[in-house]
Structure 1
């Protein structure tokens, strides 16, 4: 019995020793097991062009953009082929669409340059039911024909419900908000939008703010539904950014809109 016990014990130890001598296969890194994740669009080329061709007042050197059309077209192609994915954050998607709106607006002007106003383009469009340049489907994103209206009203206003986009979208006109000479990016988007609000409300060319009888941009009339959502109001939004605060019962009027081209 003792012999049998010691024999079995030695066989067991030998087997275990043999197992321990076998090479241990390394577990594959987690990165090899994960599906590829969609990456955000790099807006750095647009950022360079804005820094080069837009001054501190937001006025645009359209001739400069035309001279750099090759680089600009490459950025537009990047936008066209890489629509936002569901995996992108809200900030990444908003930054993409704001940059797309502003970039394609610049391209629309270049397509018809020289013009005195973006509104002059409308009469040249010979497409049934298209009466404004904002309704023209002159570019594609993700294989789908798109218009500026589709970006602003069908995507940004509809999906994200953030009235600050009105401080960022630029319609190539003097009364529009200032075109930033940098691209919007997700990491700084909230700060960029707030800075746009401050710049827009405190610019006497675009808003004449006084306590009781302010003359505001038409934006606060055209999009009053946006400003009044979620318990907000035009007065609250103005007071959020303006150095001069409105009275709650201020008699608000609106300035005439200057559609002249925002050109240097």
Structure 2
């Protein structure tokens, strides 16, 4: 009996589908995903630590002449900083330690580039760049591909982002009246202890602050950055009393010592 063409066509198509299913190759396996990118790790400051121990004494004075004659390891550390800017995955302490070390290290670099020099302020007059009037404004180094200045580290990053006035005890502008340059690198693990230690050292050094109960002659840091010390309900007196062994009255008369810009050299 002849099959009706409308009945035969579905049977034919069904047979073709069965053959195709039987002979078609296995589906290709799904491509494996690429391994997740590893988060950048914090910079190792141990090389810088060794240099500070070798070229900076317990008073924070620097052997610039000796370091200038042996710059290879120092330049390697600066390259490490330049190529590894802080990442968002770093802790606050890792980021702060990086930027404090970078400020101090690039300040040393600036001095070495112009050494011998009597003061960091002598460098400013030699910089012939439009709108740059101080060495702190000169963009003389690169971090993460961006040209930067010392001002950008201090004011644009540390003061702006982390809101911790103790950085003023740690940043050293290569001058006698600056806080002592530690002969060790700042690290995330030790940062709080190091900053508090810097505060005690700075406030109890009569060459930098003279604290009395009714009268205090303080570093100009407490005048230049007054807004930092009085933020969050604090005061200059409360910060001084946190670290000074001699406590000043909140209403004590305050004057400011002349700033000694001579180089912090051995």
* TM-score of the pair, normalised by structure 2: 0.86
Residue 135 of structure 1 aligns with which residue?
A: 137
Residue 49 of structure 2 aligns with which residue?
A: 47
1:159 pairs, out of 158, 161, 167, with 161
1:72-101, Cα deviation, whole Å (9 max, x unpaired): 000000000000000000000000000000
Residue 74 of structure 1 aligns with which residue?
A: 76
Unaligned runs of 5+ in 1: 1-31
Larger radius of gyration: 2
1:226 pairs, out of 205, 228, 235, with 228
Partner Cα distance (1:67, 1:44) in 2: 20
Displacement of 1:46 in angstroms is 0.4
* TM-score of the pair, normalised by structure 1: 0.87
> Are 1:180 and 2:187 counterparts?
no
3-state SS of paired residue (1:140): strand
Partner Cα distance (2:110, 2:38) in 1: 35
Residue 173 of structure 2 aligns with which residue?
A: 171
Superposition map of 1:1-264 within 5 A: 35-264=37-266
| Larger helix percent | 1
Larger CA deviation: 142-151 vs 36-45: 36-45
Residue 5 of structure 1 aligns with which residue?
A: none
* Runs of 4+ in structure 1 over 3 Å off: 32-35
CA RMSD of aligned residues (A): 0.9
Unaligned runs of 5+ in 2: 1-33
1:171-218, Cα deviation, whole Å (9 max, x unpaired): 000000000000000000000000000000000000011111110000
3-state SS of paired residue (1:186): coil
Displacement of 1:35 in angstroms is 3.7
